[in-house]
């Protein structure tokens, strides 16, 4: 889809013409979708999948996960909660099984209603990026330990496709579960500008 070129007139630092603002808004197009898991039991090795639809000619800009209640690991090394994002359920084509709660021998908590930007501005994260340790790091109530979120393939798709988000508690049963997780996904619609 071709987008018109928007010419911004210099009308001063603190002013903008209404037509210019509307023209920019028309050419920066985002859309959102969401999906919620079924109730996450405490049972280890169970999987919780959500299917989301990515529109054609878009890139995944942000993927945010928000639990309705606390999720707490069992407290033994390896009792992680892994996240997977694929073009097939559990396929890991986009993000392959990374611990968003990385239990190294102490229980890890993801506090209710705390949003984790699993993908932010089309990027992954370094290890332990969710812990709220300062103004620019993490979020209050985020997991204290997590693996690096590595983007394994392009987040762009020329055609509409299904993407599958999966949570999976590993090893031992969770200490606390019985809640759901909602995913919010923002897509940036790309267009070809004329020469």
For the chain, the structural domain boundaries read 31-189
Q: Would you state the pLDDT for residue 1?
A: 46
Q: Does residue 135 carry a pLDDT above 80?
A: no
Higher confidence at residue 10 or residue 59? 59
> Poorest-confidence range of 8-12, 17-21, 123-127, 189-193?
8-12
Cα 195 from Cα 117, distance rounded (Å): 36
What are the DSSP E strand ranges found in the chain? 29-36, 48-54, 58-67, 71-72, 81-86, 95-101, 109-110, 116-119, 156-157, 161-169, 181-189
Q: Would you state the pLDDT for residue 193?
A: 39
CATH 2.60.120 fits 31-189, yes or no: yes
Higher confidence at residue 76 or residue 17? 76
Q: Which pLDDT tens digit goes with each residue over 9-50?
A: 555 556 666 766 565 555 568 889 999 999 999 999 999 999
């Amino acid at each position: 889809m071709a987008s018109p070129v928007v010419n911004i007139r210099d009308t001063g630092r603190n002013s903008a013409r209404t037509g210019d603002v509307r023209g920019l808004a028309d050419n920066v197009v985002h859309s959102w979708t969401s999906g919620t898991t079924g109730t996450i039991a405490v049972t280890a090795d169970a999987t919780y999948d959500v299917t989301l639809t990515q529109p054609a000619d878009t890139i995944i800009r942000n993927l945010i996960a928000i639990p309705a209640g606390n999720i707490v690991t069992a407290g033994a090394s390896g009792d992680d909660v892994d996240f997977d994002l694929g073009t097939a359920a559990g396929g890991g084509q986009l993000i392959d099984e990374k611990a968003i709660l990385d239990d190294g021998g102490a229980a890890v908590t993801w506090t209710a209603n705390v949003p984790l930007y699993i993908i932010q501005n089309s990027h992954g994260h370094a290890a332990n990026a969710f812990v709220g340790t300062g103004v620019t790091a993490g979020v209050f109530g985020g997991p204290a330990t997590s693996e690096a979120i590595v983007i394994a393939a392009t987040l762009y798709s020329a055609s509409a496709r299904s993407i599958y988000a999966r949570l999976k508690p590993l090893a031992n049963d969770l200490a606390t579960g019985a809640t759901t997780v909602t995913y919010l996904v923002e897509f940036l619609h790309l267009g070809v500008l004329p020469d």
